[in-house]
């Protein structure tokens, strides 16, 4: 931790096991944890905003997420890794914020109406008090630790802007600088396509699970979509439209030029090409799989990591809340 006082924070909703598409986000977190006072939490309250009627798998999803994070290289020595709902101070801050958050601010967050409509199409009404408050809860997540930076994707920018406005409003109303205005830390994250070339996503079933073993990787790579113009193996191929080739570029730096050339000239078949990718990807993902297995075999240790992270988080949270209570006269 080289920038002792600078806190960064991010979270993810526990929606099931993570895949290779999430890995670049986690890699970025793992890089940042070296330089900042880092907080990473599993956002189970946020999961409840939409999955309030289907909570059976939340416990399992939290465990899986902890394992995936540790597997990806989040280091509990450096980062506080914890479960959102373990920090009761968050609920308290959320209540205080709810007194000063204008309804109109919540109603105009662009993701709100989008999501409501999205869920309505599936026959589900998520127009609850809690879901409307999603951005306010997220602001409380961030401001509770007085984070200066929030590593998130572009889709979260409206939420960060909301958070900045709320911080300003609080500081202005109570005439003191309790909260810094946090900024989004946007990293250049590579967009890994799924097996079928679309965005990698659980709902498309086009993903490679984080922690997959070599056999599973090989099986998934076999399902990848290749250049549809190639019928016979000596047909000239178009690697630029082939997902397998995109993966070679990411994971097979030494060979990808050669593979491109061989494909274009029809000197390599797709089956062989995929075999080579599976081997490389297997090598690349092996340390992730090993770490996941290591922690999966030590559930007690994982519990301790989450508890310890929670303790560190609560300490910082308590400092903030003392200032907030003082400011608000409660």
Q: Could you tell me where the DSSP H helices lie in the chain?
A: 20-32, 44-51, 58-71, 88-100, 103-107, 110-121, 129-132, 134-144, 157-173, 214-222, 243-251, 256-264, 270-296, 299-328
Nearer to ligand SF4, 86 or 218 (CB): 218
Nearer to ligand SF4, 230 or 291 (CB): 230
Binding positions for ligand TRP, 145-184, rule CB under 6 A: 150, 152, 156
Could you say which of ligand SF4, ligand TRP, none residue 45 binds, taking C-beta under 5 to 8 angstroms by partner kind?
none
Element of type H or E holding 9: strand 7-12
Binding positions for ligand TRP, 30-69, rule CB under 6 A: 43, 46
Could you say which of ligand TRP, ligand SF4, none residue 141 binds, taking C-beta under 5 to 8 angstroms by partner kind?
ligand TRP
Nearer to ligand SF4, 103 or 231 (CB): 231
Please give the structure tokens belonging to residue 182.
Answer: 């946090």
| 203 three-class SS | helix
**Strand-pair partners of 149:** 8, 183
Nearer to ligand SF4, 101 or 252 (CB): 252
Could you say which of ligand SF4, ligand TRP, none residue 46 binds, taking C-beta under 5 to 8 angstroms by partner kind?
ligand TRP
For residues 294, 299, 305, 307, the Cα torsion angle rounded to the nearest 10 degrees is 170
Binding mask 234-253 for ligand SF4 (x = CB under 6 A): ---x-x--x-xx--------
Contact 262, 233 (CB under 8 A): no
The rounded Cα 141 to chain-centroid distance in angstroms is 15
Assess 83 for contact with ligand TRP (CB under 6 A).
Answer: no
Assess 93 for contact with ligand TRP (CB under 6 A).
Answer: no
Using the Cα atoms of residue 273, residue 274, residue 279 and residue 284 in order, give the sign of their dihedral.
Answer: positive
Nearer to ligand TRP, 14 or 282 (CB): 14
**Secondary structure, 3-state, 258-296:** HHHHHHHCCCCCHHHHHHHHHHHHHHHHHHHHHHHHHHH
Binding positions for ligand SF4, 252-311, rule CB under 6 A: 263, 268, 270, 273-274
Summarize as ranges the residues that interact with ligand TRP (CB under 6 A). Answer: 9-13, 43, 46, 138, 141-142, 150, 152, 156
Summarize as ranges the residues that interact with ligand SF4 (CB under 6 A). Answer: 226-227, 230, 237, 239, 242, 244-245, 263, 268, 270, 273-274
């Amino acid at each position: 931790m080289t920038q002792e006082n600078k806190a960064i924070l991010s979270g993810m909703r526990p929606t099931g096991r993570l895949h290779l598409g999430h890995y670049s986000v986690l890699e970025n977190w793992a890089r940042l944890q070296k330089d900042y006072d880092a907080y990473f939490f599993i956002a189970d309250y946020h999961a409840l905003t939409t999955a309030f009627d289907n909570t059976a798998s939340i416990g399992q999803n939290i465990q899986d997420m902890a394992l995936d994070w540790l597997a990806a290289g989040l280091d509990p020595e450096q980062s506080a890794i914890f479960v959102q709902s373990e920090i009761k101070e968050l609920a308290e801050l959320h209540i205080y914020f709810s007194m000063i958050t204008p309804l109109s601010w919540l109603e105009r967050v662009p993701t709100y109406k989008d999501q409501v409509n999205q869920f309505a199409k599936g026959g589900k009404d998520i127009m609850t008090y809690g879901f409307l408050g999603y951005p306010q809860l997220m602001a409380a997540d961030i401001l509770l630790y007085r984070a200066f930076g929030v590593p998130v994707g572009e889709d979260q920018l409206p939420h960060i802007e909301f958070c900045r406005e709320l911080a300003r409003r609080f500081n202005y109303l109570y005439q003191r600088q309790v909260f810094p205005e946090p900024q989004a830390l946007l990293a250049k994250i590579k967009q890994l396509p799924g097996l079928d070339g679309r965005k990698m996503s659980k709902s498309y079933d086009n993903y490679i699970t984080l922690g997959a073993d070599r056999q599973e990787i090989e099986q998934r790579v076999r399902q990848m979509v290749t250049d549809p113009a190639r019928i016979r193996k000596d047909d000239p191929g178009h690697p630029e439209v082939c997902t397998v080739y995109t993966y070679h570029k990411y994971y097979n730096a030494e060979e990808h030029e050669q593979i491109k050339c061989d494909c274009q000239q029809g000197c390599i078949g797709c089956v062989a090409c995929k075999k080579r990718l599976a081997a490389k990807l297997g090598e690349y993902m092996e340390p992730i799989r090993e770490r996941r297995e290591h922690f999966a075999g030590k559930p007690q240790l994982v519990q301790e990591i989450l508890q310890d992270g929670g303790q560190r988080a609560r300490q910082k949270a308590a400092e903030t809340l003392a200032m907030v209570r003082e400011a608000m006269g409660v």
